[in-house]
Amino acid sequence: MGSKMEINHLHNKLETIKMEGILDGENADRKENLHRLFMYPAMMVPATQSAIIEAFSHELPNSILAIDPYMGSGTALLSCMEFGFDVYGQDINPFAVLLSQAKTTNYDIAQLNDSFEKVKQHIENDKSTNIEVSFNTIDKWFTKDAQIAFSRIRRAIMDEPNGNIRKFLWVLMSEAIRTGSNDRTSTFKLHQRDPEELERRHVDNIKNFLEYVQQGVSDFKYFQDKIHEKNCRYGNATIKWGNTQKGIDSEQKFGLLVSSPPYGDNHTTVTYGQTSYLPLQWIDPKDIDCPYDYLKTTQEIDRQSLGGSINRKALSGQRNRLIEKSKSFEDFYFSIPEEDRERYNKTISFIADFDESLDSITSVMDKDAFFIWTIGNRTVGGREIPNARILIDLMQYRGFELFFSADRQISNKTQPKKNNFSKTMDKEDILIFH
Ligand SMILES: C[S@@+](CC[C@H](N)C(=O)[O-])C[C@H]1O[C@@H](n2cnc3c(N)ncnc32)[C@H](O)[C@@H]1O
């Protein structure tokens, strides 16, 4: 694509989708695009992404490669695959890598069903009460019964010889851990449930796990049938662990980016790493791709992520570079009274890391590529950080123009019920650059 007429046509289509309210994703169905396999934090909404990508799919050749450099659980990647695109995704969180690897695999459904029967049998025959993993806080996060149940599940999964199928099973075990551990599901930070609640609570983790697996198999079949009915090819997926701030681990060039970056450092926005900590304790490390010790502490993954650590010596240089590149950042920064500025060091460090990642990203994009970003503002110390406007400036600085924008309510996005991030955010922007 490239002619003025084609680009206008695409723009009109996007405007129509916007007018029809489709971007709000109000009718989101969690069985779509394998969305409910695991409730990863702040997932994008399949209905919204798919509507946009469908519009692109009529205009772009499907030989174009799509990338999500912050892929999380792979929602955007799956929406691209739904329309026949090949995809590349990377994330710094090894658990996101596992989720996306499983979701983008074109499984043989009969093989998944066979594996389900074998795993079920294995668990039924397993009477051992040995606990398979050990870490300092295991008794805080898991009752003895849960430790026995997840040990039986783990032994059964490790008996599965096919590595791709094991990944599928680890994901469903993780969803059983999310709902069956002593951690509250209402926040993404690790928080133990109240003692009285724990006293009352009884969870059948094995039953849950087996139900999740069965539902997972049927969701894969549903997704495969959907691609088949559309007469689309099943795209290839390359999924890797990667720190996008440092680079994109691909030799190829991409024509389409579809992504939602973090909106601030994980610690004060969404703790992707902490949410992943308990499942990662139980998954065989041999099936996890990650070069650092992701289980060092509950904070390690969040520390490695954008804005996860402040380099005090670099701060003033980072701030000056952002001022040079973004008028919106400059206005924001100078609107803060001098005595309060210290409080925004984390924010500056995050935006500087994100800006660096834009260098990695734009270096692997075709020169006429499209970028579909979903981004929200957030509030720190009562001030709104204008993430969306800053992103527009940083993209323009690199020579890409805003082609289309829309905002949507985020009621359907998986946000924790309680944290200072979601309370102050109720809409996000979809910004498309070209
Ligand atoms: C909003 S989520 C992505 C949602 C995802 N695009 C989707 O389709 O659901 C942001 C992701 O950025 C990841 N992330 C944070 N810092 C990163 C970095 N330096 N390199 C790569 N990924 C990073 C987080 O682990 C998280 O999974």
Q: What span, in angstroms and rounded, lies between the C-alpha atoms of 19 and 328?
A: 28
Q: What is the pLDDT of residue 411?
A: 59
Residue nearest to atom 2 of ligand 1 (CA): 72
What does the pLDDT look like over 9-59, one tens digit per residue?
999 999 999 999 888 876 667 889 999 999 999 888 888 999 999 999 998
In order of their start, the domains of the chain are 4-107+219-433 (3.40.50.150)
Q: What span, in angstroms and rounded, lies between the C-alpha atoms of 258 and 241?
A: 18
Q: Is the CB of 270 under 6 A from ligand 1?
A: no
Q: Is the CB of 244 under 6 A from ligand 1?
A: yes
Average pLDDT of 230-250? 95
What does the pLDDT look like over 47-93, one tens digit per residue?
899 999 999 999 888 789 999 999 999 999 999 999 999 999 999 99
Taking alpha carbons only, the member of 408, 406, 413 closest to residue 432 is 406
What does the pLDDT look like over 319-372, one tens digit per residue?
999 999 999 999 999 999 999 999 999 999 999 999 999 999 999 999 999 999
Residue 422 in this model has a pLDDT that exceeds 60 = no
> What's the predicted TM-score (pTM) here?
0.95
Residue 198 CA, ligand 1 centroid: distance in Å: 32
Q: Is the CB of 42 under 6 A from ligand 1?
A: yes
The token duo for 333 is: 């920064």
What does the pLDDT look like over 381-414, one tens digit per residue?
999 999 999 999 999 999 999 999 999 877 545 5
Cα(first)–Cα(last) distance of the chain, in Å?
12
Q: Is the CB of 245 under 6 A from ligand 1?
A: yes
What does the pLDDT look like over 195-230, one tens digit per residue?
999 999 999 999 999 999 999 999 999 999 999 999
Average pLDDT of 155-160? 98
What percent of the chain is predicted at pLDDT more than 70? Answer: 95
What does the pLDDT look like over 277-297, one tens digit per residue?
999 999 999 999 999 999 999
Residue 423 in this model has a pLDDT that exceeds 80 = no
Q: What is the pLDDT of residue 416?
A: 45
Residue 417 in this model has a pLDDT that exceeds 90 = no
Average pLDDT of 293-312? 96
Q: What is the pLDDT of residue 28?
A: 67
Q: What span, in angstroms and rounded, lies between the C-alpha atoms of 242 and 98?
A: 13
Which ligand 1 atom minimizes the distance to the CA of 90?
21
Residue 421 in this model has a pLDDT that exceeds 80 = no
21: left (phi over 0), alpha (psi -120 to 50) or beta: left
Which ligand 1 atom minimizes the distance to the CA of 245?
19
Q: Is the CB of 421 under 6 A from ligand 1?
A: no
Residue 434 in this model has a pLDDT that exceeds 80 = yes
Q: What is the pLDDT of residue 418?
A: 42
What does the pLDDT look like over 167-195, one tens digit per residue?
999 999 999 999 999 999 988 899 999 99
